[in-house]
Amino acid sequence: MALPQIRYKWEWDLQSSPEELWPLVSDTNRFDRDTGVPPLKRLEPGRRLANARLQFRQRVFGLPLDYVQEPYEWVYPYQYGVVRRYKRGPLAVMDVQVRFEPKPRGGTRCIYRVAVQPRNIFGLAGIPILIGRIFAQRFEKTFRSYDRMVVSGKPLQAERQRIEFAPGGRERLTTLKERLLSEGSAPVLVARLAQIIETRDPIGLSRIRPYELADAWQENRRSVLELCLLATRVGLLEFQWDLLCPLCRNARATSSALGDVRSTVHCDTCNIDFSANFERSVELTFCPNPAIRPIDRKSYCIGGPVDTPHVIVQQVLPPGDRRTISTVLEQGRYRVRVLEGTGGQFFRSEPDAEQHKISFAACADGWPGDEPVIIQQPEITFENQTDEEHLLILERMAWTDQAATAAEVIVLQRFRDLFANEALRPGEQISVGSLAILFTDLRESTRMYSEIGDAPAFGIVMNHFDVLRDAIAAENGSVVKTIGDAVMAVFPRPAGGLRAILEAQRQLEVLNTGSVALRLKAGLHYGPCIAVTLNDRLDYFGSVVNMASRLEGQSSGQDIVVSSSVFSDPEVAMMLADPSSDLIAQRLNTTLKGFGEQQFNLWKVSLGRVSQNLLELN
């Protein structure tokens, strides 16, 4: 005979709003750790169950508890819940449901429900003690702790966790702080990074995101990223390359070096193989060096809402089920899809939309092709019109801009200087998205060598490299390689490349010697590229690189030849249209070596006022 189900319900009033609490309370891994739930081990990780179900084992008082976890269900920022079905032990089923109700005058009413089906007499006797007393107190204590974190403005600080340093770790931290300062790092940033290492929650330290820190500190993102890179070089931090699934956006592989990054990765949750793309799916994150502070990498819960923060709603719908929810949406584009299926229906949420209610149905005929527009606090109905269970997902299409992607990182001069040996596995080719490729070459350098002698000329050429390097680095670019007097550089955006070369040309005017004018020929192109390893260094190849190398030959040294993709870039267009920039662009229609008889529309961009020095030398 089945034993009676045991139910609990607790309610607490909190000061913070549901939206403010959600980043912490929806982190079920942190919550379970903080409430004293033992770590778990995933069983049969290679075996995939339907609709993201997972198998785990936990040991409670030394007793192994094996269970199948149903997929978490949630509606941002109001509720989440999970059901666990135990295969052995004193428990049969446990159902946890948490709801956050906004209060009329501010704050939140937290309602926490637990329903447990005991399997035997031991469960019947133990549940009231373990859950009804011990965990009831821990649940309330943890929620109130999170509420205080939010109110204090320090949601990532370790309020209740004991901070543990490695033997000698504090002394190493002090020494390396001084090392960072001696290398020219900003004192305020060094102090803040050290404080993070000293005080942050252990789980939060396992994946430090530099752009997230920069935004929280209201500091320049590049400065914080470069600080983390330097901190890695001196031994304060370690970095890791996370390969993110394009659907669930979880890290499905992590590598400590670019050489270990594989171009194809499998996501067992989404059951897809995906190609690593430096522009989106490879993110650089950091953690403390274990010689300073070891990191808790145990898992206490997997599959909670925070694991996929772009998913606003996730619901399990049995065949024929219908469910209506209310949620909060940011302005932007969204998609409704099912996990065990393809396609989906897109929609937009806009503040001035008129549609308040909308329905989405999973059916055998697929998804509609229209893209409705709804308000930002809509009422949404989901329906499963198939004869199979479906895990329905409502997700934000925009990727977070707080990710320091590999495409951004590897174009930084600071990264190339600090980690010159970071390169892909030989033969590996990975897309890096669209980059601006710059080629330059000194005009009249041969004549300069003959007129002023090898030693003085060589010094001027080296100075020219320094000028170029500084101008390129100032615009978030990096020098990929030099070939004689020529330079290949890369930038995340075309406007940065244009500004860099204009600045370099201005500065090189003062290096002109005697009757020889140092003129820097330059060509700039923008488009998709592939990252490779060449001569043990990161390099780029593709038609965009080939074309950029040909543009430099069209330059006179008093201009920059740019492609149509650069010329039409919105930021470049604004530069050219700005009268204060004093830039002019002359159209050039020509063929390029290696591209047959194809005609290209190019533009020669130059300063409207050519310096008197150059005019006289003409």
Token reading at 297: 């990498």
Largest Cα–Cα separation, the chain: 104
* Alpha-carbon separation of residue 387 from 313, 319, 342, 384 (angstroms): 22, 5, 17, 8
Positions of the chain with pLDDT lower than 50, given as ranges: 158-159, 610-618
Question: Could you read off the pLDDT of 115-128 as tens digits, one per residue?
Answer: 999 999 988 999 99
Nearest-angstrom CA–CA distance, 458 and 445: 9
Q: Which of 47, 21, 19, 68 is nearest to 302 (CA)?
A: 68
Nearest-angstrom CA–CA distance, 418 and 478: 12
Nearest-angstrom CA–CA distance, 91 and 235: 47
Tell me what pLDDT residue 559 has: 92
Tell me what pLDDT residue 278 has: 87
Question: Could you read off the pLDDT of 64-90 as tens digits, one per residue?
Answer: 999 999 999 999 999 999 999 999 889
Q: Which residue has the tokens 């951004």?
A: 408
